[in-house]
Amino acid sequence: MRTRRQEGGYVLALCIAVLALLLIAATFVGQSVAEAVAVARLHRDNLDNEIRIESARSRVLFLLATAPRFSKGLGTEARTVTLDGRAYAMGDGILVSLQDIQGLVSLNGPSLTSPSVGRIERLLGTYGVDGPNATNLAEALLDYRDPDNLRRLNGAEDAEYSLAGKALLLRNKNLLDPLEVSRVYGWSGVASLWASDPITNHVSAQKGTRFNPNVADWRALVAMTGVSEEVARDLAQKRRKGEIDDISGLVFAGGFGDPFGANAFVTTFPAASILVTIRAHHAQWGFQYLVHHVPTETASPWRVESVRRVSLPPVSKPYAEFPELPNLKALGGPLVPGPIKLPF
């Protein structure tokens, strides 16, 4: 008898394999298309944010160049924009904050002496860096700034940077930008300095030594005045709530206004330089502009000294809860009517 031929079923298996491959390919293509669409939407949102931020920037520059200034900020007693970094709504989902540069700890301002070390050490202490570690970082900063190659007792010069493989990072000059502090020996390795509230939020690269406690956050108050963290937090909170208008007398003992006195570096009047941060409410990035404005200056009535794109933490409250940024008319009108004469 002829034996029965056994069917292998390879056609069915082949069909199933082909269908599985087609399904995998379709899934991959669909996922790629979805990712491409998401990226396109993200680019579109970023472009929309940049357009709105650019519009807001022009409005803020106009306000800084025309609004009157007094001890409490921009405007008059009737309506004031404070310069302590609090956020204001500008409409269309845009937030802006204005920070008087005198409310920050200047990395270039203090002289290269022991008082400078104390201020930097106290600032580092607010991040949990204290004792010998704070001294090492503070003296490394001063060695980074001075023009010589003589190492302080706990500092760092050419030998230390070379051993760390960072010989090209040492400039022996003043910092050009607050972010440059990450180049200083040992600073980038301290994680707490670069977490949710990085130290660059509280320092500046300005050469001036003047300090305005009424626009400073609690970390800068601790650094510049020597008060405890608890007292500094309490004073900053009460000032923001409007319970205390002027805290200068509470953190500095003695009189003010004497150019030769112990408090000669203390001021309550806004500086010529304002740090402007503009962001969209839902975005975790924005732009920072350091604007220098002096109408009587011979070089220019105003200028943007630096621009950088920065990462920002998520906003903690709804957009509707932010106070609206007043316009020029609400702030009392222009400071000086008439044209400004330029030297060219």
101: tokens are: 């540069």
The pLDDT confidence band at residue 5, using thresholds 50, 70 and 90, is low
What is the mean predicted confidence (pLDDT) over 191-197? 92
- Residues near 273 by beta carbon (within 8 Å), at least 6 away in sequence: 101, 206, 290, 291, 292, 293, 305
Is pLDDT at 70 greater than 90 in this prediction? no
Least confident of 62-76, 87-101, 129-143: 62-76
Q: Mean pLDDT: which of 12-21, 81-90, 329-338 is highest?
A: 81-90
Least confident of 17-21, 199-203, 235-239: 17-21
For 262-278, how does the pLDDT look when each residue is reduced to its tens digit (9 = 90+)? Answer: 677 888 889 889 999 99
For 224-255, how does the pLDDT look when each residue is reduced to its tens digit (9 = 90+)? Answer: 998 999 999 999 999 988 898 888 888 887 76
Is pLDDT at 7 greater than 70 in this prediction? no
- Name the DSSP letter for residue 36: H
Closest CA relative to residue 82, chosen from 71, 72, 91:
72
d(CA 169, CA 165): 9
Closest CA relative to residue 291, chosen from 59, 120, 48, 47:
59
What is the mean predicted confidence (pLDDT) over 115-123? 84
pTM score, whole prediction: 0.81
CB 107 within 8 A of CB 98: no
The CA distances from residue 58 to 49, 96, 141, 315, 328, in Å, are 14, 12, 36, 23, 13
Closest CA relative to residue 181, chosen from 107, 235, 259:
107
Domains of the chain: 52-104+267-344 (no CATH), 110-194 (1.10.40.60), 213-266 (no CATH)
The pLDDT confidence band at residue 344, using thresholds 50, 70 and 90, is very low
> What residues form DSSP beta bridges with 275?
99, 290
- Residues near 35 by beta carbon (within 8 Å), at least 6 away in sequence: none
The pLDDT confidence band at residue 110, using thresholds 50, 70 and 90, is low
Torsion on CA atoms 53, 54, 59, 62, rounded to nearest 10? 140
CB 292 within 8 A of CB 273: yes
The pLDDT confidence band at residue 65, using thresholds 50, 70 and 90, is confident
Is pLDDT at 27 greater than 70 in this prediction? yes
The pLDDT confidence band at residue 316, using thresholds 50, 70 and 90, is confident
Is pLDDT at 40 greater than 60 in this prediction? yes
Pairing verdict, β 105-106 and 203-204: parallel
CB 113 within 8 A of CB 104: no
- Name the DSSP letter for residue 296: T
The CA distances from residue 199 to 180, 202, 229, 243, in Å, are 12, 6, 16, 27
Distance between the two ends of the chain, CA-based, in angstroms?
115
**In the predicted model, what is the mean pLDDT of the chain?**
86
How much of the chain exceeds pLDDT 90, in percent? 42
163: tokens are: 């051993």
